[in-house]
Amino acid sequence: MHAGEETSRSRTPRGTAILHEPRLNKGTAFTDAEREALGLRGLLPPRVLSMDEQLERVRRNLYAKSNDLEKYIFLVGLQDRNETLFYRLILEDLTALLPIIYTPTVGEACRTFGHIFRRPRGLYISRNDRTRVREVLRNWPESDIRVIVVTDGERILGLGDLGAQGMGIPIGKLALYTACAGLHPARCLPITLDVGTDNESLLADPLYTGIAEGRLRGEAYDAVIDEFVQAVQEIYPRALLQWEDFATENALGLLARYRDRICTFNDDVQGTAAVTLAALLGATRVTGTSLGEQKLLFFGAGASATGVADLIVAAMRRLGLSEADARGRIWFYDSKGLVTRARDRLDAHKRVYAHEHEPITDLREAIDAIRPTGLIGLSTRGGAFTEPVLRTLATVNERPIVFALSNPTANAECTAEQAIVWTEGAAVFASGSPFAAVDHGGRRHVPSQANNAYVFPGVGLGVVVSEAKRVTDGMFLAAADALARALGDDDLAQGSVLPPFHRIRELSVAVAAAVAVVAREAGLATATLPDDPTDAVRGNMYHAEYPQYA
């Protein structure tokens, strides 16, 4: 059994107490014998329902809701009442419910968090908790935490600074850890660091859930982070710490500061990189080219773009390209135009992708000048890939790669239909948000959603199973390779560049096993692993089944 599971009836609450404990509650599925043993007689309707019958009722109520935000609220309520039933529902309907429990609906949930708040979930550590962060962490009821997802809420998806209302992100990410990779929910801890917000509308909102003060910056901010990291290391020494939705400077800075000291990664940087690389490897199979032949133009030059570019460079170097040659095949285009060496005061992460070229401030002109094989959008600028832009891309490539990866849906650089129609069916498309299949020119194009859920749950599971001391870029390369290998000929024939998401548990096993192997070969695994760790991975996975109490 995993930590947090009941191991004896002596620990099991009775009566109304067990009905109010979502991890133990079975609702109307408690048997007659359990009702007698646990003092539940009369506290439930007399008929005993199976889990399947409970699921039927839940589905009817869920799909009667009028919009996705209402569905999100309903699912959060179910999770707060009956965690096992919640995860069984998600597991059986994962493809349909992923957009509800995570992107794009979670963005709206975070934006309105203070107005839809029902019951606390996760742990809040505020700027006012300085010198007592350890005490706050010890308030969490579970002791064997293996994965922590933490945000400071400054750059939530494409919505910007949502302060403490960003808690929806770590909650959603950890729900996917359980649903996609089978990490037991008792081993998961969502945390929000409330260091304030600079969002004026939130500061003026009487229902805002965080501290209504401007953000900490500089040394004061660093002090909060350092105390937090030290406290996590002391209280949860076996935990993987995943950074989520930090602003670019902090995302890159915190990763650089801690990656060689603790077991940590940044999903926006490294998870996005791995799933994008996997999709790019899939796209090269569609186009019949190799990774080393690609010339890529990134629209957007923040933390995510940097992470993706760096991992692609590492993958190209495995093929024999020098670092200079690999970086020379990648260009950045930011809010000021094409990133070139002539630009003054370039940030360090952009400088390594700045090349000799005259300034260009029009995206279409940049495409015409550089002639990239692929256009990768990580800008959060909805609709930026206009018809002239995509038609220009199609004139310089027979099969242009178009990745519109910004979230939520309104921030996507283009839709699947626009990419396919405006390139006369030539585009090889992937997106950050889900889009429906497109029928064009007698062919059906099924776009892939390059969702980080393909990567981070499996990476985390592999780290947990191997008890790795550190997380390395080699693990994310292995994750991308595992995903690319799982892409079938039928998927390629319909233009998909990633395997179908309904296979996510199987894919997460493959990713976790590949990560565990890298951890062992790098000398980072502290657990003893067999040559093929697949069975060890499967043996650590949670399945949403009711416990038996009598």
Task: Tell me the pLDDT tens digit for each residue of 399-419.
Answer: 999 999 998 889 999 999 999
- Identify the residue whose tokens are 């660093």: 222
Residue 206 has pLDDT above 80, yes or no: yes
Model pLDDT, residue 408: 86
Model pLDDT, residue 237: 97
Model pLDDT, residue 8: 34
Domain boundary assignment for the chain: 9-80, 100-262, 269-550
Mean pLDDT of 116-127: 96
Cα separation, 288 vs 399, in Å, equals: 9
Mean pLDDT of 89-93: 95
Residue 214: phi and psi, rounded to 5, are -60, 160
- Identify the residue whose tokens are 């005993």: 48
Residue 3 has pLDDT above 60, yes or no: no
Is-contact 164 153, C-beta < 8 A?
Answer: yes
Q: Is 75 exposed, middle or buried (0-12, 13-18, 19+ CB in 10 A)?
A: buried
Helix (H, G, I), strand (E, B) or coil at 324: helix
Helix (H, G, I), strand (E, B) or coil at 379: coil
Q: Is 21 exposed, middle or buried (0-12, 13-18, 19+ CB in 10 A)?
A: middle
pTM of the full predicted structure? 0.94
Indicate left, alpha or beta for 312 from its phi (over 0: left) and psi (-120 to 50: alpha). Answer: alpha
List CB contacts of 346: < 8 A, sequence separation 6 or more. Answer: 339, 354
Model pLDDT, residue 158: 81
Residue 436, CA distances (Å) to 22, 306, 445 in order: 35, 29, 9
Q: How confident is the model at residue 69 (pLDDT cuts 50, 70, 90)?
A: very high
Q: Which of 121-125, 180-184, 342-346, 464-468 has the lowest mean pLDDT?
A: 342-346
Residue 6 has pLDDT above 70, yes or no: no
Both tokens assigned to 342: 């002539």
Tell me which H or E stretch contains 265: strand 264-266
Helix (H, G, I), strand (E, B) or coil at 55: helix
Model pLDDT, residue 407: 87
Query: Maximum CA pair distance of the chain?
Result: 80
Instruction: Classify domain 269-550 at the CATH topology level.
Output: Rossmann fold (3.40.50)
The pLDDT tens digits of the residues spanning 219-277 come to 999 999 999 999 999 999 999 999 999 999 999 999 999 999 999 999 999 999 999 99
Neighbours of 42 (CB within 10 A): 8
Catalytic site includes residue 87 = no
User: Could you tell me where the DSSP H helices lie in 182-241?
Assistant: 200-203, 218-235
The CATH architecture assigned to 9-80 reads Up-down Bundle (1.20)
Indicate left, alpha or beta for 55 from its phi (over 0: left) and psi (-120 to 50: alpha). Answer: alpha
Cα separation, 421 vs 438, in Å, equals: 9
3-state helix, strand, coil in the chain (%, to 5): 50, 10, 40
Name the nearest CA neighbour of 474 among 459, 486, 461, 454.
Answer: 459
Q: How confident is the model at residue 7 (pLDDT cuts 50, 70, 90)?
A: very low
Name the nearest CA neighbour of 282 among 502, 487, 448, 507.
Answer: 487
Is-contact 314 481, C-beta < 8 A?
Answer: no
Cα separation, 362 vs 334, in Å, equals: 11
Rounded to the nearest 10 degrees, the angle between the axes of helix 303-318 and helix 272-287 is 50
What is the pairing mode between strands 401-404 and 443-445? unpaired
The pLDDT tens digits of the residues spanning 349-387 come to 999 999 999 999 999 999 999 999 999 999 999 999 999
Residue 460 has pLDDT above 70, yes or no: yes
Q: Which of 72, 87, 102, 208 is catalytic?
A: 102
Name the nearest CA neighbour of 456 among 470, 476, 472, 473.
Answer: 476
Residue 142: phi and psi, rounded to 5, are -100, 145
Cα separation, 81 vs 102, in Å, equals: 19
Q: Which of 71, 72, 173, 208 is catalytic?
A: 173
Q: How confident is the model at residue 34 (pLDDT cuts 50, 70, 90)?
A: very high
Catalytic site includes residue 173 = yes
Long-range CB contacts (within 8 A, 24+) of 210-218: 210/126, 210/153, 210/163, 210/164, 210/165, 211/126, 211/127, 211/128, 211/163, 211/164, 213/127, 215/154, 215/161, 216/127
Cα separation, 162 vs 205, in Å, equals: 12
What is the pairing mode between strands 240-243 and 147-151? parallel
Please give the share of the chain, as a percent, with pLDDT higher than 90. Answer: 95
Is-contact 408 158, C-beta < 8 A?
Answer: yes
Model pLDDT, residue 5: 44
Q: What is the rounded average pLDDT for all residues in the chain? A: 95
Cα separation, 432 vs 381, in Å, equals: 13
Model pLDDT, residue 345: 86
Model pLDDT, residue 4: 40
Both tokens assigned to 279: 């999709």
Cα separation, 499 vs 503, in Å, equals: 7
Cα separation, 159 vs 409, in Å, equals: 11
Q: How confident is the model at residue 10 (pLDDT cuts 50, 70, 90)?
A: very low
Residue 126: phi and psi, rounded to 5, are -105, 170
Model pLDDT, residue 344: 86
Q: Which residues pair with 334 in a beta bridge?
A: 337
Model pLDDT, residue 550: 81
Q: Would you say domain 100-262 falls under CATH 3.40.50.2300? A: no
Residue 509 has pLDDT above 70, yes or no: yes
Same fold, 9-80 and 269-550: no
